[in-house]
Amino acid sequence: MREVTLPGGNTTGAVLIGDVVHKRASPWTPAVHAVLRHLEDAGFDGAPRALGIDDQGREMLTYLRGETIGDREPWPEWASADSMLAHVGRWLRRLHDLTADFTPPAHERWFIGGTMRPGLVIGHQDAGPYNAVVDGDRLVGFYDWDTAGPSPREWDLAFSSIPWVPLASTRDGTPLRSHDLDERRRRLHLFLDAYGYDDDRSAFAVLVPQRARRQADVIRRTADAGDPASIALIPIADLLERSASDVEALPDGFWRR
Ligand SMILES: Nc1ncnc2c1ncn2[C@@H]1O[C@H](COP(=O)(O)OP(=O)(O)O)[C@@H](O)[C@H]1O
Ligand SMILES: [Mg+2]
């Protein structure tokens, strides 16, 4: 059957054969597929279903039908719509609640390292607009689960808030006006309200910069090891580091509802 290259994606790329997505597998694919099966068993339909491994060793996943960003620049309007931001908050809450009791397979291996233990959930860790599927103003779900793994809830929320709120700095370095900062503050709390985050939100003043820098470090480490996809992402690592410093400079009131 014909292989159709899917648009978007920075690393391994994915192809569609019939209605099945095939993508290069990695050492963490067994653990990730166990998560996807756990979500399927729980009736969660906001993630692809794991269909096993093909005869070339690629992972197979169901195709989530809907609209994706692909290679579009600038991002479509839904990427900054309030309703979508709230859907993302609710989606993350369901993911986290449903994986709090997840038991990983023996010898679990995750992209981000670590092991599952009580108090952690499975974070998607890359739930940005570029990995979302939408249908009108509805969120269908997220694909690209390679980076998923055991995490505190806040760590995954900190990641998603960067591209969705957004909390990233402007690409050209233009400082934000006070109106933009008010909007960001409003949208951060909309996102956390949709999640139902009731703990002290000032924790994110530290966590968001940490999460951004961790992401930048991963890009730089894999780029230094010669990975061409990561070398192409070096401008994103620069942007994440700048965003981390800019977020640290936000006033305390930004984090209060
Ligand atoms: N399960 C899926 N359902 C629908 N589209 C998908 C699915 N998996 C991947 N895609 C498409 O393939 C592209 C690349 O896949 P992705 O898993 O994001 O790869 P990468 O790790 O390279 O970012 C995505 O941008 C999306 O367009
Ligand atoms: Mg992707």
Kindly report the CATH number assigned to the domain that includes residue 55: 3.30.200
Structure tokens at 12: 């391994």
Domain limit, last residue, from 62, 88, 107: 62
Predicted pLDDT of residue 188: 98
Dist CA 12 CA 24 (whole Å): 6
Domain-embedded: residue 129: no
Domain-embedded: residue 98: no
Q: How far is the CA of 179 from the centre of ligand 1 (A)?
A: 35
Domain limit, last residue, from 39, 62, 85: 62
pLDDT at residue 12 tops 70: no
Domain-embedded: residue 57: yes
> Which of 247, 246, 245, 239 is closest to 219 using CA atoms?
239
Domain-embedded: residue 94: no
Domain-embedded: residue 209: yes
Same domain, 57 and 157: no
Structure tokens at 29: 């694919």
Q: To test the ligand 1 pocket, which listed residue (3, 11, 23, 60) has its Cβ within 8 A of the most ligand atoms?
A: 23
| 121: exposed, middle or buried (Cβ count in 10 Å: 0-12, 13-18, 19+) | buried
Q: What is the mean pLDDT of residues 200-215?
A: 98
Q: How many domains does the chain divide into? A: 2
Structure tokens at 177: 């006006």
Q: How far is the CA of 251 from the centre of ligand 2 (A)?
A: 33
Residues bordering ligand 2, an ion, CB closer than 5 Å: 9, 131, 144
Structure tokens at 115: 């092991």
Domain-embedded: residue 251: yes
pLDDT at residue 10 tops 80: no
Dist CA 156 CA 122 (whole Å): 9
| Domain range enclosing 159 | 153-257
Q: How far is the CA of 120 from the centre of ligand 2 (A)?
A: 24
Predicted pLDDT of residue 11: 67
pLDDT digits (tens, 9 = 90+) for 110-142: 999 999 999 999 999 999 999 999 999 999 999
Determine if ligand 1 sits within 6 Å of the CB of residue 235: no
Determine if ligand 1 sits within 6 Å of the CB of residue 20: no
**The model's pTM:** 0.97
Domain limit, last residue, from 40, 62, 84: 62
Domain-embedded: residue 130: no
> Which of 233, 236, 246, 216 is closest to 171 using CA atoms?
236
Structure tokens at 178: 């006070």
Domain-embedded: residue 219: yes
